[in-house]
């Protein structure tokens, strides 16, 4: 593996920092307070090439690799992890599912609009009674000639209300049958497809999370991704790559928390000297820096294998699990270093702390990651 930062990655980091100063930082706390999903911001990110990161040039994408993708999510999430989450969900889930499993006509039809940011993507797997047990889903797709009739609902869907297009996993066979589920692409405006409750969340409040409802939603068979019965297997493969993105999101939160703490510890004086001079604080910073380094290396190893087209089920789960748990720990320690000020909204660590917890839950809880890892090493 080559650990050098590429010129492309340096340009990405610099462009995001400049973009963030103008288009994110002045508004992020207002978005957070009001739970505003800033749709137009994602149009601008699309113009910069960050909404079709992995999509080939021929479909209007940036055709970057997973190392570059980690840098993009890391840098955005250091500024506002809510925006990082939405960029990750759009790229890794909806867009990547179509890229990986769509036929040529489907790719030509949908990927250019997703890659440009003209359309925002959603991805529906989770339901009210099926989180980790996705195989028990109740949403059904029943064949009716050249069409499928879809009934049911998905919840905790990123962009479930504002998304222009959604990849939706449905049951076309028996519950619990891994080959009894199929994936469909459904455009907003399709009769029978509507949005429901928007969740009022602890953190990641500028990243929209809402229900998607299907009431006799009639979809042509051309909207089926792959073959009938392949949806669940497809979803698991999509989640493998998606775990790199959530790990990168967590990495950005951890770095943002650490950098804010390092700066504050050098400025804040107690007993006649900066608090960074006290061993209790300096050791916290040392632990933070080490754990961030380990998270980043693990993520880039997973990216290295993903770029080579190798299986990353175990390593992706390891990277996601470790980076997400580390980010929660570091965000908590950042509050402690800031003391009372860390508990106020005047300093950035309060928001990092609230946002961090989602990383241990979304795209598979820590417990599910351990299950995935254990199954792999015990084969």
Instruction: Decide if 141 contacts 172 (C-beta within 8 A).
Output: yes
Rounded to 5°, angle at Cα 281 from 271 and 273: 25
| Count, residues in the chain | 379
**Known active-site residue 230:** no
- C-alpha distances in Å from residue 311, one per residue of 244, 304, 306: 13, 11, 7
Query: Taking the CA of residue 75 as centre, how many other CA atoms within 13 Å lie in the half-sphere pointing to its CB?
Result: 20
For residue 272, the SS3 value is: coil
How far is it, in rounded angstroms, from Cα 113 to Cα 223? 16
Phi-psi map region of 189: left, alpha, beta (phi>0 left; psi -120 to 50 alpha): left
Q: Which helix (H) or strand (E) covers residue 167, if one does?
A: strand 165-171
Catalytic residue from among 47, 228, 363, 367: 363
Helix (H, G, I), strand (E, B) or coil at 187: strand
What is the Cα–Cα distance from 87 to 80, expressed in whole angstroms?
11
Contact yes or no for 143/163 (Cβ under 8 A): no
What are 123's strand-pairing partners? 167
**Beta carbons of 110 and 165 less than 8 angstroms apart:** yes
Q: Supply the residues annotated as catalytic.
A: 363
């Amino acid at each position: 593996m080559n650990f050098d930062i590429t010129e492309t990655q340096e340009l990405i980091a610099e462009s995001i920092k400049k973009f963030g100063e103008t288009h994110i930082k002045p508004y992020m706390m207002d978005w957070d307070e009001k739970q505003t999903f800033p749709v137009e911001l994602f149009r601008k990110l699309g113009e910069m090439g960050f909404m079709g990161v992995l999509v080939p040039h021929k479909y209007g994408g940036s055709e970057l690799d997973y190392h570059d993708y980690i840098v993009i999510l890391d840098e955005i999430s250091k500024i506002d992890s809510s925006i990082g989450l939405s960029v990750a969900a759009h790229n890794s889930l909806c867009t990547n599912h179509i890229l990986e499993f769509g036929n040529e006509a489907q790719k030509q039809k949908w990927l250019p609009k997703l890659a440009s940011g003209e359309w925002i993507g959603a991805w529906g797997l989770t339901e009210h009674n099926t989180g980790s047990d996705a195989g028990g889903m109740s949403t059904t797709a029943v064949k009716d000639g050249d069409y499928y009739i879809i009934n049911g609902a998905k919840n905790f869907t990123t962009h479930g209300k504002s998304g222009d297009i959604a990849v939706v996993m449905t049951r076309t066979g028996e519950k619990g049958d891994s080959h009894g589920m199929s994936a469909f692409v459904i455009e907003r405006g399709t009769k029978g497809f509507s949005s429901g409750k928007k969740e009022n969340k602890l953190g990641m409040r500028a990243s929209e999370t809402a229900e998607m409802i299907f009431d006799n939603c009639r979809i042509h068979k051309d909207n089926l991704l792959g073959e009938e019965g392949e949806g669940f297997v497809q979803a698991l493969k999509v989640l493998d790559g998606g775990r790199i993105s959530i790990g990168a999101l967590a990495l950005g939160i951890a770095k943002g928390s650490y950098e804010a703490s390092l700066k504050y510890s050098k400025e804040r004086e107690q007993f006649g000297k900066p608090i960074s001079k006290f061993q209790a604080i300096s050791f916290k910073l040392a632990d933070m820096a080490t754990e961030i380094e380990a998270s980043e290396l693990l993520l880039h190893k997973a990216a290295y294998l993903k770029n080579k087209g190798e299986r990353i089920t175990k390593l992706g789960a390891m990277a996601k699990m470790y980076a997400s748990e580390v980010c929660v720990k570091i965000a908590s320690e950042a509050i402690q270093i800031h003391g009372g000020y860390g508990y106020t909204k005047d300093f950035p660590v309060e928001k990092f702390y609230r946002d961090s917890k989602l990383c241990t839950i979304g795209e598979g809880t820590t417990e599910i990651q351990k299950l995935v890892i254990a199954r792999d090493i015990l084969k």
